């Protein structure tokens, strides 16, 4: 990957952001797509391996291992199709300096351009073992591999931290380090835009806030909220509920802008179904109508529905909705 300063992220770097953010949040389905795209954009096998290995320090072993196993399957599938991806620079595992803590401390000084005390003030004095792990393992063992340079590693870290809740302080620190390593303001803005697409506007706004850029509104002016009032033909009730459940689950899982499809029925009359539907905007709703799962629901339940009424609603307070419907984030 080209390490020279540019105004925008190149295609390889864009893939780094997407792969890192999707690994951090555990979105395996879309991660598989972006791993393929990253290889197609010219990332080497070992560059991606190094990214996924480094990410365990920021999002934990489970998500790092899940991503590595997904990458392994992607490579097997591509090989079966006759695609030969470049291996890239060799990954060296051994790292045996005279003083590993000192090696990591010097790396952190190079990254932060700030003297690093031994132990680190605050957390390092309170919990010395974590300070040792941070210096000897993350900034020594992991950073010792030159498969990725420091700028590329910081892009991985920033993308992961920006995708996670509750780590704004660490994100701010690494954005400062990223700038030290040559990541430009324009590239950070582009990183935020990419994370908006892979994760959410809320997480993308964590970068925008730190670099003093305008935040994007979480809700769209044309967000759609409605209640569907449906009466079911008695002999089809159980079959209808099964098909409805499948459609609701598929819609929320597969369609990013489908915030909620929540089916209910009246206790005194189970034939009376009510569905709360929330769509990010009208474009999302129109796309939802064309989805295969909705078309299946519509065609198979046509004979089961005795009556249907769609009641358009407005939220009393859209900000409250952010806490109730997490997918609005």
Q: Is the pLDDT of residue 329 over 80?
A: no
Query: What is the pLDDT averaged over residues 261-279?
Result: 96
Q: What is the pLDDT of residues 71-104, one digit of tens each?
A: 999 999 999 999 999 999 999 899 999 999 999 9
The answer to which of 111-125, 217-231, 273-287 has the lowest mean pLDDT is: 217-231
Beta carbons of 93 and 71 less than 8 angstroms apart: no
pLDDT of the residue at 131? 97
Assign 123 a pLDDT band (cuts: 50, 70, 90): very high
pLDDT of the residue at 221? 86
Tell me the pLDDT of the chain averaged across its residues: 94
Report CA 60 to chain centroid distance, whole Å: 14
pLDDT of the residue at 327? 64
Query: What is the pLDDT averaged over residues 198-215?
Result: 95
Assign 4 a pLDDT band (cuts: 50, 70, 90): very low
As a whole number of angstroms, the distance between CA 106 and CA 182 comes to 19
Q: What is the pLDDT of residues 150-165, one digit of tens each?
A: 999 999 999 999 999 9
Query: What is the pLDDT averaged over residues 189-205?
Result: 95
Any idea what DSSP says for residue 215? Answer: P
Phi then psi for residue 146, to 5 deg, are -95, 15
Residues near 312 by Cβ (< 8 Å), separated by ≥ 6?
224, 225, 226
The answer to which of 57-71, 157-171, 214-228 has the lowest mean pLDDT is: 214-228
Assign 315 a pLDDT band (cuts: 50, 70, 90): confident
Q: Is the pLDDT of residue 1 over 80?
A: no
Selection from 224, 295, 240 nearest residue 272 by Cα:
240
Assign 6 a pLDDT band (cuts: 50, 70, 90): low
3 state DSSP class of 308: strand
As a whole number of angstroms, the distance between CA 261 and CA 275 comes to 7
Q: Which comes out higher in pLDDT, residue 257 or 174?
A: 174
Selection from 212, 208, 327 nearest residue 258 by Cα:
327
Q: Which comes out higher in pLDDT, residue 118 or 319?
A: 118
Q: Is the pLDDT of residue 293 over 50?
A: yes
**Residues of the chain above pLDDT 70, percent:** 96
In the sheet where 305-313 sits, what is the strand order? Answer: 258-265, 272-279, 224-232, 305-313
pLDDT of the residue at 239? 97
């Amino acid at each position: 990957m080209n390490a020279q300063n540019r105004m925008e992220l190149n295609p390889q770097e864009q893939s780094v952001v997407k792969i890192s953010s999707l690994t951090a949040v555990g979105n395996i389905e879309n991660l598989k797509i972006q791993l393929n795209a990253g290889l197609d954009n010219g990332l080497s096998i070992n560059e991606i391996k190094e990214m996924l290995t480094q990410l365990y320090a920021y999002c934990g072993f489970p998500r790092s291992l899940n991503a590595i196993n997904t990458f392994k399957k992607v490579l097997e599938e591509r090989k079966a199709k006759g695609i030969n991806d470049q291996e890239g620079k060799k990954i060296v595992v051994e790292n045996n300096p005279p003083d590993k803590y000192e090696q990591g401390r010097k790396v952190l000084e190079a990254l932060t351009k700030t003297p690093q005390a031994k132990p680190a003030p605050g957390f390092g004095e309170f919990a010395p073992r974590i300070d040792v792990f941070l210096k000897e393992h993350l900034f020594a063992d992991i950073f010792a591999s030159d498969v990725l340079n420091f700028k590329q590693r910081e892009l991985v870290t920033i993308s992961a931290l920006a995708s996670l809740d509750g780590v704004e302080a660490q994100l701010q620190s690494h954005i400062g380090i990223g700038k030290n390593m040559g990541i430009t303001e324009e590239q950070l803005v582009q990183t935020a835009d990419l994370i908006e697409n892979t994760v959410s506007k809320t997480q993308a706004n964590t970068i925008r806030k730190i670099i003093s850029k305008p935040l994007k509104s979480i809700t769209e002016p044309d967000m759609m909220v409605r209640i569907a009032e449906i009466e079911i033909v008695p002999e089809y009730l159980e079959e209808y509920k099964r098909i409805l459940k499948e459609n609701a689950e598929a819609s929320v899982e597969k369609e990013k802008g489908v915030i909620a499809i929540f089916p209910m029925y009246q206790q005194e009359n189970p034939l009376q179904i009510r569905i709360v539907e929330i769509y990010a905007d009208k474009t999302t709703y129109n796309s939802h109508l064309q989805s295969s799962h909705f078309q299946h629901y519509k065609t198979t339940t046509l004979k089961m529905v005795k009556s249907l009424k769609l009641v358009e609603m407005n939220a009393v307070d859209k900000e409250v909705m952010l806490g109730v419907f997490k997918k609005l984030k």
